[in-house]
Structure 1
């Protein structure tokens, strides 16, 4: 296990303590930490304290990713912040995307529920949210009783956080942060789509980039037996490596049949070193 994996596993272990502080309100751990660090809010809204213990600081670090993975099931809606927490049903649409009105930044889901019918106030919802959000909100079933809002962890069948599911969640989140060629320049993207980033030394592309691929221009004069330097396929005046692999009409027809190279042919590579650069 590498250093990064070890850190992710440690955070996943701490996430278990965060989950206990969020769900097990009768435990001694909850009562002690609640009284000292977040007496007027939940663990998810607790503010960092400079004089907090090492254990508390560690829990806060794990709290951030646990908060990002937790989804809320709507009960009475009093503990769910509309714009700050994930509470919608669809996996790809857990949080509202409607811009937050300044005066409603701290509003709770309970304000969207009619106190008389105990159902969604559809007129109010349609007036505040984008249609995409409004439809998602109104599709959430509500209970006529006074059920409490309940957090659940979507990575498990029981809805309860586990170290294993937390570790997988962290790995998935960190994978999203890894750089990819999507941020590269167009020229670099074209080159990467054509040539592997790390060619082996015995590949033809590597040999071409290092000018080791045989051609009329690169061969010693005694080996060409006095032949002219023109291309034998199209009679071009000079047959260098770039012409043999890329510019010759015969080479063009072959490359055009390869997926992804038709658009790449529109780029003007200055040389094979540019073409094969990673």
Structure 2
């Protein structure tokens, strides 16, 4: 009687299956609402020192816990880990690969005994898969499935090894948000210094634009440059960076600053780093040269604001506009319109297309890139959007209107915090990146008004 009618039954609902589904929903709620009273009580009693998915029934379980544990097999069949930093995911025992049998890997077990965590499959210090290692260790079909998994650029999704526990202190400091955001990007090595841009293929010259002596790495730009080190020494901090050691780590240095618990020290460092970066950009993009004392005065003015103002002002961060234009329309004066699209090939590749134009319709930048394919078209569009926002920042576009022809991605923009899919993960990265713009909006448009980006995306695959 409980069988579906198409299978010869009468379609009555199975009370056992219905009860199991309700209990499985309670298990899911324990995973997603960790601060609820029930979740905190059960954690204190049954899995105080382990994740929920590794909890055991215990020796004297309550009726509630026994019932919830009885439905665990439902989630075991369909749940899988979402890759953040990868430090908590075991490559061989956890379910984390969409499309694989049981979401687990079966090849490569005996290749390298020390290979245990997913974080070991990422490039050191970067949030990208190590393609060479993955293709060397795993069978071709499993390697392809791994490379389709998007890796979040937001390390806050899980603890990040070097300064675990410091992120909360960083965001709670009294500096203005743009200074803290610059430090966050610097700790994740995503500040667009020339050495980074060369690695991304955006520029060909990595020499520092200020001193012209060495490659402009992150440490050189903020500390070691001969045009920057005197700023630190002449500041109230009296820090000497004239001889920066080769093993200098910005992350560890920042960790020590924050552990001091001195608001004045942290704010002084943050604002001075911002002023140094602003001076560098003034020279690179506006060809305006400012002396050392400008940096000190600028940092001082930012610090005086940092203790009284919690927000920098009213900007259009994350604003979403509904669209449906059949033809491309130029933006307002002072705004750059960015169109982005993704194209998925029949093989194992996807292409990104990017075009930026000003209010007169003049093309300021175009780009096309090719990457391993995503598991769905919507995920490919979301990854293209994330790529386009980061590229816009790298190119110095800070007031942008972004248009994309994927309504699913635009809808996910509003609901990303309530979803657990990889699409929501990538969109969350894009939302975070969008906070770096002075003015930002996202709109859904028809394919007809996004043809230029669509052509570039397809061109990337040719």
Instruction: Tell me which interval the TM-score lies in, with the shorter structure as reference length.
Output: 0.3 to 0.5
TM (norm. structure 1) is 0.47
Q: Which has the higher contact order (CA 8 A, sep 6+)?
A: 1
